[in-house]
Amino acid sequence: MLKTVETETGETPSFLDPSDAARRDCEVAAAELRFGRPVVLHADETYVAIALDTATARDFERFAVATRGSHALFITTERADALELSAPNGALVPLKDLSYERACELGYQLESPVPETWFDAPASLSALNELSRLALLLPALVVAQIDQSDPAFAGVAEIAVEDIEAAGDAETRYEIVARTVVPLRDVEKAEFVVFRGGLSQRDQVAIVVGEPDFERPVPIRIHSSCLTGDLFGSLKCDCGDQLREGLRLIEARGGGVLLYLDQEGRGTGIGAKMRAYGYQSHGLDTIDADAALGFGADTRRYGAAVAMLSALGVTSVELLTNNPNKAAFLQKAGITVSRRTAVLGEVTNENRYYLTTKAERAGHSLDIALIASALVNK
């Protein structure tokens, strides 16, 4: 017969430890938003929210009725800027007499009329942006302040701001689930090491190339997934070239590691990235297109990268990148970046604007003159 385990105080301990409970609440809340269902947020006040990205017109109407018309659209600072509103914590636009279509226009569409009334959002609502990031949804939410025990929202998933913060710790918890050699066309020896963990238990892959010398700075590339560039050879970016050039450089140095991180579209997801491409076809650059959708210049996190490098025994690296943020992040996490080596893919008419924007607006170490001359010399 099973015996009940008791703590020193005589209570039966919960199967979930507190950080797991915070993580579970966070994952459930993100999943609910993804299904178009509401989530109750306990902050300085109690709020309820649905994501405009997944809520249907019917959900929107039901929400308006349940909140007795007190609902408002919560948009980020970047989206507010795109609407020419200066709102350091994001803006709240009252929706009482506004339609679902108007809310979508204000939330993420190009050429939306500026709202007549709006307010600065309380800082605590930024927790909702964190949930939409986790759910890979546009950060445009319909919110309302409610009483803690509003019967209209009984049974709805609940999350406290502190739990969203506490769950962040999970972003660095990863376990190896498989290590297997995979023969590659261009690399003589490649071992795929699959890690599982983080906040949403998504799998992340490290490719150990050749025989890395872990006593010396290990050549590494931290590559964020780009379905269009890596797999389909899209001309809009240089990701595919960088991926293959990264592997080639690592092999040429005798061995190292390529981390292939599941953060498509700089962490915004393939849906948002394709919407951003749509806006780019109207002339916006890569950063302004993301901002029009409510995103900051780069929403990626590198906790997984640090966890994977540590598990593989990498403490000092030669980092193959043009992105100084990646180097800064590793240094901050205690991994020594002994050297940074540039990796440039082929410059094309289609990706020139993208590369120039990265150099001029995202601080990437890319030589604009070189980009221009690469085209002239074609």
Ligand X SMILES: Nc1nc2c(ncn2[C@@H]2O[C@H](COP(=O)(O)OP(=O)(O)OP(=O)(O)O)[C@@H](O)[C@H]2O)c(=O)[nH]1
Beta carbon of residue 231, minimum distance to Zn ion (angstroms, whole number): 10
User: Is residue 250 close enough to count as binding ligand X by CB under 6 A?
Assistant: no
Q: Which of 378, 319, 310, 307 lies closest to 343 in space, CA to CA?
A: 319
Active site residue 133: no
What gap in Å lies between CA 145 and CA 48, rounded to an integer? Answer: 6
Q: Report the site for ligand X in 187-246 (rule: CB under 6 A).
A: 223-226, 237, 239, 242
The token pair that represents 246 in the structure block: 């990264």
Q: State which of residues 83, 92, 128, 237 lies at the interface with Zn ion (CB under 5 A).
A: 237
Beta carbon of residue 261, minimum distance to Zn ion (angstroms, whole number): 13
286 binding partner (options ligand X, Zn ion, none; Cβ < 5 to 8 Å by kind):
ligand X
* Gyration radius of the chain over CA positions: 23
Residue 280 known to bind ligand? no
User: Is residue 290 close enough to count as binding ligand X by CB under 6 A?
Assistant: yes
Beta carbon of residue 92, minimum distance to ligand X (angstroms, whole number): 25
Q: Report the site for Zn ion in 101-160 (rule: CB under 5 A).
A: none
Active site residue 298: yes
Q: Which long-range contacts (CB under 8 A, 24 or more apart) does 89-93 make?
A: 89/120, 89/121, 89/122, 89/123, 89/125, 89/126, 90/121, 90/125, 90/126, 90/129, 91/118, 91/119, 91/120, 91/121, 92/118, 92/119, 92/120, 92/121, 92/125, 92/143, 93/117, 93/118
In the bound state with ligand X, the residue whose beta carbon lies nearer, of 32 and 230, is 230
Q: Which of 192, 63, 66, 76 lies closest to 140 in space, CA to CA?
A: 76
Question: Residue 84, Cβ neighbours under 10 Å: how many?
Answer: 7
Write each residue from 134 to 153 as x if it is in contact with ligand X (CB under 6 A), else as -, in one continuous string. --------------------
Identified catalytic residue from 298, 340, 352, 367: 298
Contacting positions for Zn ion (CB under 5 A): 226, 229, 237, 239
Contacting positions for ligand X (CB under 6 A): 223-226, 237, 239, 242, 263-266, 268, 273, 276, 286, 290, 321-323, 326, 364
